[in-house]
Structure 1
Amino acid sequence: MTSSDDVRQAPGGTAGASPEEIEPIGAEQRWRLVLGLDAQGRRTPLSRQQAGMDQALRTLYDEEARSALQGRRARGGLGESSPRVARWLGDIRTYFPTRVVQVMQVDALERFGLTSMLLEPEVLEMVEPDIHLAATLASLSQAVPEQSKATARAVVAKVARQVEERLADNLQQAVRGALDRATRTSRPALADINWGRTITANLKNYVPELGTVIPERIIGYGRRHRGIQREFTICLDQSGSMATSVVYASILAAVMSTIRSLRTTLVAYDTAVIDLTPLLTDPVDVIFGTQLGGGTDTTPALEYCQQTITRPADSVLILISDLYDAHPERMLERLAQVEASGTQVVVLLALSDDGAPFYNHDVAKRLAQMGIPAFGCTPDAFPELLAAAVQGDDLAHWADKQAAHAN
């Protein structure tokens, strides 16, 4: 098993916002943030960033706001409030420096009831772990007390096993079948003829009188299994809003890494870049290797991913992001360069059970104009997506068919 110390990381990565990213706060605003409410009915003006800081502080330290965040607690855990807790954990990493984030995370463990939950010996019997709870625990991994870390990993491991049991067989069968079909042969059996490619290759031989094409060249699917046939690079936005996507992507990438015909690379990023590929032997290590929350700068991650791709023509880059980026123009320019190199590019706006992403519509529209498909995907549809990518199908058309089927 590879430890998290083996993960390659760009220098200077931190868990929270850097001092230069936090705007100066005046004395009046500072007291407003400390006290929580304006004294004597005055309304102290707050900037947009300061208002976000105020909301994050109120969520943790104001009883009424915290109750609203948690909602109705499930027996032994956070239940349906987990996604909101995960988003809050992302917010504090955006608004506060590392040392403050660490203090708030420790307080959150106690105030959200996670410390007592993790310290109970029968926690696994009491809690029904789900993907949101796994994301929350991963977000709080640096703040979990030493005596509770084994329990936290056990909870996440249980979620990972559930997802693998549900998806692993379908993913492996879909990808291996697609690799079989993607290898062309010029003398296929009737059942192995690739009719779409055969017709396209012989359009010059169309005979109007017969209303058909006379094929000179028949293209089929082969059955080769030698060496690496495709490279998949997953570039994973680990901002707070992507918590569920991060957990699912980590588990699915671990499954992909077991398919010998694939070369799978997993790179996560916020404002720093971390290569999680060495941890793919254990999805729990991958999940705890992420640092959910913080800012988002996609371009350095794309640049790193491009350097890891050895055969662009046989490669697929999957960017999993809500596209809320600090430098969207740079990101779009880099994606265009990756695609121009011959690599197939697809953007997943979310990898979640509902498949209904919250994302930057303007940037997604720009991607569509560039011919790069961008859509939300459920984990159950992910194997079919990979198969379509292996076969070189039109992924935008594939996504449209999925949406029509869901409706």
Structure 2
Amino acid sequence: MTTDPTLQRWRLLLGSAGAACLGGQPMDPDTAARDAALDWLYGRDEDLRHRGVRADGPREGGHGPSALTTVDWLDDIAELFPKETVERLHRDAVEKYQIHDVVTDPAVLERIEPNPALLRAVLQTKHLMNPQVLRQARRIVEAVVRQLVDKLSTEVRAAFAGTRTRRPSRLRQARNFDMTRTMRANLGRYQPDTGKIVIETPYFFTRTRRHLQPWQVIMLVDQSGSMVDSVIHSAVTAACLWGLPGVRTHLVAFDTSVVDLTADVDDPVELLMKVQLGGGTDIGRATAYGAGLVDAPRRAIVVLISDFYEGGDPGLLVRTVAGLVEQGTKVLCLAALDSQANPSYDRGLAQRLADVGAHVGAMTPGQLADFVAEHIGR
């Protein structure tokens, strides 16, 4: 007798505590293998055991945590689960259960498929790696950063491509399609029986390229452990802004100390390999350093990326930001800079910064590029 696939999925979700939902029937071999792989990772959660959610013995798959090596487990999940699930399992293994050999074991690094979760893991554990392992881990950093740069560079190019005008263009590009004029000009070709308009002559906008005067973009990035996504995307964003006409980009990382990484901004891989995550936070000190980099106050944008949990003097931070705003510098305070822009920050201090004139919020890297393009194009 074959167990209902829906019940088997519920069994995977609930773990051994949900064995009753199968009505005494066994799991099929694939489901049992998935159950064993999940148990290898989540079965070590002592909180479940203390609450009686998980029995003390291994689950029905027959593989307790000691039966699989990390290499075996990685091979198994790559075959048993879709890519999105594999990335989540990688992330939980390193971040939740501190299984560092996912990214520090040479045998694992040789076969593992790079993904953003592993990039975060490498940056958080690279201080544990010997030089040989670090060279292998760099492959993960390079692969994921290349994907991020390819994606974001398209958004940056679009942001800086120029604004559309109402003047017609002979250059026919989909992004410049003039829908309103095209529909109006072809209304006479409306077909009532199909409800469609036959377009004989499409029309397109032209774009005027912004005349760019030199601007500075100074990115100050909190490198405390909770800001790993922000560090990654800041490095990629700075690399994409680097070399744009009329833009001079600086990248500064900080915790209780300040490190100017501008010399490596054109190589985000090298930059990320130099970042040291963790430690305290002195945002005021970093902002004062950034203020000292400003050459032309009214042609500068200071982007402060932090959770705003200040370990230094909040008053210094607020006064420095107020001074920047008063001299005409644009100050953008971002609570998050990952691709989902999920903010977690000290709202009280962020409000004080907003009160003195800073722009405060959360943006994806693409939205940050739009913000920069909008201001330097004025």
TM-score (norm 2): 0.62
2:103–2:118 Cα contact (<8 Å) kept:
no
Match among 98, 103, 119 for residue 114 of structure 1 = 103
Tell me which amino acid in the other structure corresponds to 2:372.
Answer: L
List runs of 5+ in structure 1 lacking aligned partners.
Answer: 1-61, 90-106, 182-188, 192-220, 393-407
Displacement of 1:145 in angstroms is 2.4
Deviation string, structure 1 residues 119-141 (Cα, Å, up to 9, x no partner): 34642xx32411x3212211222
Counterpart-to-counterpart distance in 2, 1:337 and 1:81: 46
Change (3 A) 1:145 1:369: same
Matched, 1:385 2:376: no
Give the counterpart of 1:286 among 266, 271, 275: 271
List per-residue Cα deviations over 1:20-45 (Å, max 9, x = no partner): xxxxxxxxxxxxxxxxxxxxxxxxxx
Shift in Å at residue 170 of structure 1? Answer: 2.2
SS of the residue 1:243 aligns to: helix
1:79 aligns with 2:70: no
- 8 Å CA contact 2:300, 2:329 repeated in 1: yes
Q: Tell me, what secondary structure is at the counterpart of 1:354?
A: coil
What is the CA-CA distance between 1:86 and the residue it aligns to?
7.8
What pairs up with 1:159-174 in 2 under 5 angstroms?
159-174=144-159
Other-structure match for 2:138: 153
Query: How far 1:165 sits from its partner (Å)?
Result: 1.0
Equivalent runs, 1:241-252 vs 2, <5 Å: 241-252=226-237
**Paired AA for residue 242 in structure 2:** S
Deviation at 1:67?
A: 9.9
Give me the whole-angstrom Cα distance separating, in 1, the residues matched to 2:276 and 2:109.
27
- Asked if the contact 2:162/2:210 (under 8 Å) is kept, the reply is no
SS at match of 1:264: strand
Cα distance in 1 for partners of 2:209, 2:366 equals 27
- Deviation of residue 259 (structure 1)? 1.0
Q: Is 1:330 aligned with 2:333?
A: no
- Structure 1 residues 87 and 366 mapped into 2: Cα distance closer, same or farther (>3 Å)? farther
The 2-side partners of 1:244 and 1:64 are apart by: 25
Q: Calculate percent identity across the aligned residue pairs.
A: 27
CA distance in 2, matches of 1:279, 1:161: 16
In structure 1, the residue matched to 2:286 is: 301
Question: In the TM superposition, what are the counterparts of 1:335-374 in structure 2 within 5 Å?
Answer: 335-374=321-360
Aligned partner of 1:119: which letter? A
Pairs within 5 Å for 1:50-129 = 64=45, 75=77, 79-80=87-88, 109-110=100-101, 113-116=102-105, 118-120=106-108, 122-123=110-111, 126-129=112-115
Contact 1:109 1:144 in 2 (8 A): no
Amino acid at match of 1:231: Q
Query: Does structure 2 conserve the Cα–Cα contact (< 8 Å) formed by 1:175 and 1:390?
Result: no
* Alpha-carbon distance change, 223 to 339 in structure 1, aligned in 2, over 3 angstroms: closer
Question: Matches of 1:65 and 1:163 in 2, distance apart?
Answer: 36
TM-score normalised according to structure 1 size: 0.58
Query: Which amino acid is 2:133 matched to?
Result: S
> Aligned equivalents of 2:94 and 2:282: distance in 1?
20
* Matched position secondary structure for 2:127: coil
Q: Quickly say closer, same or farther: Cα 1:275–1:350, change in 2 above 3 A.
A: same
Aligned length: 267
Is the 2:322–2:357 Cα contact (8 Å) retained in structure 1?
Answer: no
Measured against aligned partners, the alpha-carbon deviations of 1:270-297 in whole angstroms (never above 9, x if no partner) come to 0000000001121101111211111110
Matched, 1:264 2:252: no
Q: 1:84 to 1:258 in 2, by over 3 A?
A: farther
Q: Measured at CA, do residues 364 and 85 of structure 1 come closer, stay the same or move farther in structure 2, by a change above 3 Å? A: farther
| Kept in 1: contact 2:104–2:128 (CA 8 A) | no
- Distance in 2 separating the partners of 1:81 and 1:334: 43
What per-residue deviation string (whole Å, max 9, x for no partner) do you get for residues 28-76 of structure 1?
Answer: xxxxxxxxxxxxxxxxxxxxxxxxxxxxxxxxxx9545999xxxx8747
* Cα distance in 1 between the residues matched to 2:211 and 2:236: 27
Any idea what SS the aligned residue of 1:347 has? Answer: strand
Cα offset, 1:357, TM superposition: 0.7
TM-superposed CA distance for 1:109, in Å, is 2.7
Gaps of 5+ in 2: 1-42, 50-72, 79-84, 168-207
Cα deviation 1:190-214 (Å, max 9, x = unaligned): 86xxxxxxxxxxxxxxxxxxxxxxx
Letter in 1 for 2:100: L
C-alpha distance in structure 2 between counterparts of 1:232 and 1:152, whole Å: 31
CA RMSD of aligned residues (A): 3.4
Going from structure 1 to structure 2, the CA distance change for 1:260 and 1:119 (only over 3 Å counts) comes to farther
- Which residue of structure 2 lines up, in the alignment, with residue 30 of structure 1? none
